[in-house]
Structure 1
Amino acid sequence: MEKMKKILILTAYYYPGFRSGGPQQSIMNMVEIFGNKCDFYILTHNHDLGIEKPYRNIQSDTWLEVGKAKVYYCSNNIYSFKFLKSFDGFDKIYLCEPYQMHSYKILLLNRINKIESQIYLATMGCFSKGAISKKKFKKKIFWITFKTLGLYKNIKWSFSSEFEKKDAIRVIGKKYIQEYLIAEDLPRKFLDLSEIKNTEKKKGYIKIVFLSRICEMKNLLQLITEVSKVKGNIIFDIYGTIEDKKYWNKCEKMLNKLPNNIVWKYKGTVESKDVLNVLVHYDIFCLPTLGENFGHVIYEALVAGCIPIISDRTPWNDLDDNHCGNIIPLKNKSMFVSILQRYIDMSSQEITYYQKKAMLYAEKKYKESVLKSGYRKLIEEES
């Protein structure tokens, strides 16, 4: 019997955390789907994003069985070189996001031949146009330093799509990307919620939900502006970690100016395990994001039959063709308003057609993703 490979994944946040969103969910889904084909070990913080206190009832600085992986919840957030070097010996080390301290320190150890494991670097959307527009000067210093020190040598890249690979080439140059794999982010295991989907809707009424981190990247401010222009009786609920308080203050000011036909509420954060149960109670999911390398919450909206109206900055570019959602160019604000108004004016029977299409599309997407996953190459290929 062939010995299973040992793969160490370094990610800033992991279960039971939920505030960091997509990157954490991607790793959790990979472990759930492929955890029987290799031995996953995960090194992560012992607290969630934006929370200083450690997770309750979870022991730090030791290996714990968590689902199909062994997880080391690290209390030393500095991640010293000596500490990281002690984790060498795995077949492969998979780094999530180049800007994390653990990532660039492992890359440096690899450059000076202090790491024998094969290194994979997952960009996690950090080179998208939307992502690099934030703190651009600081990030540019990173790229120049990485290239000058040769930290991109003797590694393999992990991209979630050809588009993400092109983004990386545009930013750091083709000569620095010699070996790579394309591994589309894996969706959460498909669940059939069709029996509990709430499809009761009257013409002129709609329930809209925004569920994502509250920061400039997710573009809630533009959503509020466009929602304010539609006619009808609207429930508009907002969920998500307030990552940028100044940005949220701007959003609150605009929310308080919404006309009387729109009732809005901020309903706090949602744990990953509860996202589907939240989304199933809404008609429309809106996310005018500036960029997503996958967008797990878009998939989960589809599973829940909550029709996505999203920007053109995500990989989900065929929703219109499948009659299960809408893609709106960020600059075409009038298109957003007209499409949202169309759903508001639908009857329960009319909108149910699109909700069922969304669920069918999600099921098909899950099966295709698992079958064709590039993560199989990570797990199966020799180092």
Structure 2
Amino acid sequence: MACIIKIYMSLLWDKVSAMQKEKLKVAVFYRGYTPAKNFGGPVVSIRNIIESCGDEIDFYVITLEHDKGSAVRYENIAPGPNRVGRATVYYLNDNQAHYDGFKELLKGIRPDIIYQNSFFGYTFSLPVLKLSKEMAIPLVLAPRGELCDAAYKMGHLKKLLYKRFVLVRYDLSRVIFHLTSEDEYAQTMKNLRLSPENMCYIPAIPTIPGKKYKKPEKLPGEIRLVFLSRIVKNKNLDYALKLLVRMKANAEFDIYGQVEDADYFDRCLALIKNLPSNIKARYRGVAEPGQVHRIFAEHHLLLFPTQTENYGHVIAEAMLSGCPVIISENTPWTDLRDAGAGWALPLEDEDKFLHALNEAANYDAGEYGALLKRCEKYIMSKVELNRLRARYIQMFSEAGRKNKL
């Protein structure tokens, strides 16, 4: 009997060990990761994938040890592997973030999949493309909106030359491109001339608030607005400020975000100084990640006339926090207007933005409460976390099966 039990336990252990070995390993490459503040939406997208799928997949993040625009090393990180949430993270200095450094890490990790974030971020993307082929590791590449028309046109000549170099040097038919919006899917296919077999469309996973916050009272003729994004030209803060000059209602406008373009920010500050007395605009600095949902909840509307967004985490997080939005049409969220959940408007027509601002400002508590309900219904219909999680796991699993070289 003891012998039978011993044999059974041995077989059971072999089965458990085999199951453990079957767990996918994904090496994630991007220049920024937690606790970075200045790399924008991609860090949020990557973190949310990892935290949602970490039970099924072992994630290893290879990133830089400092934030964008800074040479200061993050605090409380160690050389080698660091456990951050559900990922093992390697923070590299600039002298380690190259082909040989990446190769050494990949040899130790032995991943089933590489998940590269950014197409034009050549310091990571070019070595990763090369290593994927040399080491026979399937590659999933998320361009994070870089190949959308509006973003692609910025610095177009350099990007065109880089794209041609990549197309000549590397076989992109081996790569699965992960796109997070229908527009990004179509425009990436066009700009890289990809086959549908090499493309996978799965929306980004939004950050869900941990609690509900009390909303400020809404009185007719008064409104609290917020802008939360990086301070750069394509986020269009100056456009928002110019709209407020023409508003008749009383408005408070709080601005949060990392200043990436100092000259542009100086122009915005000049606009703030010339606002009429009924408009109170203030720059509040950089929002801490843990405070974002509270900030949105303290305001009536997000005003975000962005020139281009691939996904727009800030838009999703605002609505999930009970803060409807006035945004441009250059995002994947344009159908919110059909649901009466907010406004998505053409940048070419400032009068439509102004009309929306005045309309919202004149809402009473009942009208604003109805808007909040429509907004909540809309965003909850968009956010199906279990389904999104399953699709991401499927994407990585299928990439591992189909792309083996």
Q: Normalising by structure 1, report the TM-score.
A: 0.93
Q: Does 1:67 align with 2:64?
A: no
Q: Deviation of residue 190 (structure 1)?
A: 4.6
Residues matched between the structures, number: 376
Partners of 1:199 and 1:352 within 8 A in 2: no
* Deviates further, 316-325 or 88-97: 316-325
CA contact (8 A) 1:85 1:114 kept: no
The Cα shift of 1:43 comes to 0.7
Q: CA deviation at 1:183?
A: 1.7
Between 117-126 and 323-332, report the one with greater CA deviation.
323-332
Shift of 1:178: 4.7
Between the aligned partners of 1:322 and 1:159, the Cα distance in structure 2 is 25
Matches within 5 A, 1:299-338: 299-338=316-355
Q: Do structure 1's residue 163 and structure 2's residue 179 form an aligned pair?
A: no
In structure 2, how many angstroms separate the alpha carbons of the residues matched to 1:307 and 1:46? 36
* Partner Cα separation in structure 2 for residue 317 and residue 130 of structure 1: 16
Cα distance in 2 between the residues matched to 1:78 and 1:126: 25
1:210 aligns with 2:227: yes
1:102 maps to amino acid:
F
Cα distance in 2, alignment partners of residues 82 and 129 from structure 1: 34
Aligned to 1:14, which of 33, 55, 61?
33
- Match for 2:60: what amino acid? Y
Q: Which runs of 5+ in 2 are unaligned?
A: 1-15
Describe the SS at the equivalent of 1:104: helix
Deviates more, 1:35-44 or 1:222-231: 222-231
User: Equivalents in 2 of 1:58, 1:356: separation in Å?
Assistant: 43
Q: Work out which of the two has the higher radius of gyration on C-alpha atoms and give 1 or 2.
A: 2
What is residue 288 of structure 2 aligned with on the other side?
271
Q: Give per-residue Cα distances to partners, 1:204-247, cap 9 Å, x unaligned.
A: 11111000011111111111111211111110111001111121
The answer to which structure has the higher helix fraction is 2
Counterpart for residue 150 of structure 1: 170
SS in 2 for 1:286: strand
Residue in 1 that maps onto 2:112: 91
Alignment of 1:111-260 (within 5 A): 113-174=133-194, 178-193=197-212, 196-260=213-277
Q: Report % sequence identity.
A: 30
Amino acid at match of 1:75: N
* Structure 1 residues 192 and 362: alpha-carbon distance in aligned structure 2, compared to 1, 3 A threshold: farther
* Cα-to-partner distance string for 1:16-73 (whole Å, 9 max, x where unaligned): 12222210000111111111011011111111222210111211x3111111111111
**2-structure distance, mates of 1:85, 1:235:** 51
Deviation at 1:326, TM superposition (A): 0.9
For the aligned residues, what is the CA RMSD?
Answer: 1.7
> Is the 2:129–2:170 contact (alpha carbons within 8 Å) kept by the matching residues of 1?
no
Mapped partners of 1:259, 1:115: distance in 2: 62
State whether residues 208 and 317 of structure 2, in contact with CA within 8 Å, keep that contact through their aligned partners in structure 1. no
Which AA in structure 1 matches 2:117? C
Unaligned runs of 5+ in 1: none
Secondary structure, in 3 states, of the residue corresponding to 1:12?
Answer: coil
SS of the counterpart of 2:255?
Answer: strand
Q: For residue 134 of structure 2, give the secondary structure of its aligned residue in structure 1.
A: coil
- Structure 1 letter corresponding to 2:136: E
The question of whether the paired residues in 1 share the 8 Å contact of 2:209 and 2:321 is answered with no
Partner of 1:102: 124
Q: Distance in 2 between matches of 1:133 and 1:78?
A: 31
Report if aligned partners of 1:37, 1:379 keep a CA contact under 8 Å in 2: no
Partner of 2:387: 371
Distance 2:61 2:67 in 1: 15
Give the CA deviation at 1:147. 1.1
In terms of mean alpha carbon deviation, does 71-80 or 347-356 score higher? 71-80
TM-score normalised by structure 2 residue count: 0.89
The 1:63/1:363 distance shift into structure 2, 3 A limit, reads same
Say if 1:192 and 1:303, in contact at 8 Å, map to a contact too: no
